[in-house]
Amino acid sequence: MATNPFVPNGLSVARQRAGGAADYQNNSCVIKAAYGSNIGRGDLVNKGAGGNAGYAVLSLLADTGVWGVFGAVYPYYDNTAQQTMHGLIGSYTSTANPSADIDAWLIDDPFVTFVAQVSGGPWVQSWAGQNINFLAATNGVPNISGQSTLALDANTIATTNTLPFQIVGKFGVTGSNQDPANVNPWIEVRLNTAAMLNPTGR
């Protein structure tokens, strides 16, 4: 059986499990001026600490909580370009030179589900309900169009409650180019450690 080509494109909204309107449950976040990492559309972000406290930063593999999935930057004035910019097709680039902090939007609703590609596989039904982390070196490395290349790592599947995603189920149709029986399947996940559900605050 053919392998699904490994071409992850980050986290794409699938549905709202609570039955709400399909507005992707967007909220605002802020990126600190001169933040030094790229953030692609569909990357996983967290709330920073120290000098980045309250700002959106890339999530790390070791994080025990997440803020949400990055959507896009809002327009900002770039001092180098001397004009209003929109990032790289909505993504944030570390080469930006904004005149101030940059407003952006993210999806932080814990009841929204996302589709993402898994490195490893094929799909096994016992994955459903377990937790999973993203693949190292895939968060914060968007492609030339600004789209995330984040992928999930089948080797991390476990019941560990600090992993960022819970697996909802398989995605794709048998016999299609996203056949769950192929290696590198696509699956549906939700935010397992969403900040919105953390009563201690962050």
Q: Are residues 174 and 116 in the same domain?
A: yes
**Does 68 have pLDDT greater than 90?**
yes
Q: Are residues 34 and 98 in the same domain?
A: yes
Q: Which of 107, 126, 150 is the last residue of a domain?
A: 107
Give pLDDT, residue 166. Answer: 97
User: What mean pLDDT is predicted for residues 17-30?
Assistant: 73
Q: Are residues 50 and 75 in the same domain?
A: yes
Give pLDDT, residue 71. Answer: 95
**Does 44 have pLDDT greater than 60?**
yes
Residue scoring higher pLDDT (126 or 195): 126
Q: Are residues 100 and 133 in the same domain?
A: no
pTM of the full structure: 0.94
What are the residues facing 27 on neighbouring strands? 106
- Distance, in Å, from the CA atom of 94 to the CA atom of 106, rounded to the nearest integer, reads 18
Residue-wise pLDDT for 101-116, tens only, equals 999 999 998 889 999 9
Q: Are residues 70 and 137 in the same domain?
A: no
Whether residue 1 is contained in a domain is answered as: no
Whether residue 48 is contained in a domain is answered as: yes
Instruction: Give the structural domain span for 140.
Output: 12-16+110-194
User: What mean pLDDT is predicted for residues 152-168?
Assistant: 97
Lowest mean pLDDT among 19-23, 66-70, 101-105, 118-122: 19-23
Whether residue 7 is contained in a domain is answered as: no
Q: Are residues 103 and 114 in the same domain?
A: no
Contact 100, 32 (CB under 8 A): no
* Structure-token pair, residue 30: 């802020």
**Does 190 have pLDDT greater than 90?**
yes
Pick from 200, 187, 76: nearest CA to 128: 187
Going by the DSSP 8-state scheme, the letter that residue 126 receives in this structure is: G
Angle (nearest 5°) at CA 144 between 182 and 132: 40
Predicted confidence band of residue 21 (pLDDT cuts 50, 70, 90): low
Residue-wise pLDDT for 84-103, tens only, equals 999 999 999 999 999 999 99
Q: Are residues 154 and 139 in the same domain?
A: yes
The 10 Å Cβ neighbour count of residue 175 is: 9
Q: Are residues 95 and 114 in the same domain?
A: no
**Does 141 have pLDDT greater than 70?**
yes
